[in-house]
Structure 1
Amino acid sequence: MAPTNAPTAQELQHRVYFDERSGGDDGYGNSEGEFQERFEVWAAFRSRGGSEAVVAARLEGRNILGVYLRSTSQTRQIAADWRMRDKQSGETYAVKIVDAVTDRNWVYLEAQTGISA
C-alpha cells in the first residue's frame, strides 16, 4: 500500500495536527460529535495528484497527499475517520488510508481535501 521510497529526515517539513471525533457511533455505523485534537507531529508531504468530482451539479477539485510520519505509539493510532490539519496553511484533510504495518519506521497515510472527514 505505501510507496517504498520512504522520506529522509529533511523532508519532515510540515507541522500537522491530528484530530479524532469525540462522540460515539450514531447507530448507522457513522461517528458523530466534534473533533478533538489528539497530537501534533512533523510530516513529509508528497503529492499523489488530484481528482475532480461532481457534487451538487458543480465540479470540485480534490487534492490527494501521501503523508509520511515517524512511527510512534501516537501515529500508529491514526484511523481512516480522523482528520489532519496543516499548522502553517490551515488546510484540513480527511484521512482516507492508513498504513502503519508495511514499514516499521514510518506511518504512511493518504489524506484528501474537498471531502468531509
Structure 2
Amino acid sequence: MVAGRLRRRATFQEAVLIRDPDGMLIQGWEDRFTRWCHIHYLRGSETVMQARLVSKSPVILTVRASTETRAVTSEWRAVIAGVIFDLKEDPRPGEDGAVFEMLAEA
C-alpha cells in the first residue's frame, strides 16, 4: 500500500458504558485515535448487492500497522467524514505486513 493512497482521516471509536444523569447505564462511543486510511468500496458479489438493498455499503478500510491499530476489534467503529463505519471483523495484516485491513459497513 503506497502512503499516497491513505487520503482520508478515520477516527476510531470504542464502545463504552456511561451513566446518564438518572444513574442508568447507557452505551456511548469514545474516540481512541485518528489515522489516515484508504477506503475500498466492494462491489459485484451477491452479498454486496444484498447489502446495498438495505442501504449498507461494505468496504475494506486500510490503515498503517501500529500498536494502536493492533488494539482495534470488531466491536469498534470508524468515523470518516461524518460517515459511521461499523467494523465487521478484527484487523488482519495486509500482504506487505505494514498495513491492517478490516471489513466495515457504512
Give the AA of the match of 2:89: I
How many pairs align?
Answer: 93
Residue aligning to 1:51: 49
**1:84-110 deviations in whole A, cap 9, x for unaligned?**
100x3x110100012344653111101
SS state of the match for residue 90, structure 2?
strand
Structure holding more helix per residue: 2
Q: Percent identity?
A: 19
Contact (CA 8 Å) 2:72, 2:91: kept in 1 or not?
Answer: no
Q: Aligned partners of 1:39, 1:71: CA distance in 2, in Å? A: 13
**1:29-57 deviations in whole A, cap 9, x for unaligned?**
xxx6211110000001111123335xxxx
SS state of the match for residue 67, structure 2?
coil
Give the AA of the match of 2:78: M
1:91 matched to 2:73? The reply is no
Residue aligning to 1:36: 30
Q: Equivalent residues in 2 for 1:1-117 (5 A)?
A: 7-23=1-17, 33-49=27-43, 50-52=48-50, 59-86=53-80, 88=81, 90-101=82-93, 103=95, 104-113=97-106
Query: Is there any run of 5+ residues in structure 2 with no aligned partner, and where?
Result: 19-25
SS state of the match for residue 52, structure 1?
helix
* Superposition misfits of 4+ residues, deviation over 6 angstroms: none
Q: Aligned partners of 1:99, 1:33: CA distance in 2, in Å? A: 23
Query: Is there any run of 5+ residues in structure 1 with no aligned partner, and where?
Result: 1-6, 25-31, 54-58
Q: Aligned partners of 2:9, 2:61: CA distance in 1, in Å? A: 12
Query: What's the TM-score once normalised by structure 1's chain length?
Result: 0.70
Query: What's the TM-score once normalised by structure 2's chain length?
Result: 0.77
Backbone CA RMSD of aligned residues: 2.0
Contact (CA 8 Å) 1:17, 1:84: kept in 2 or not?
Answer: yes
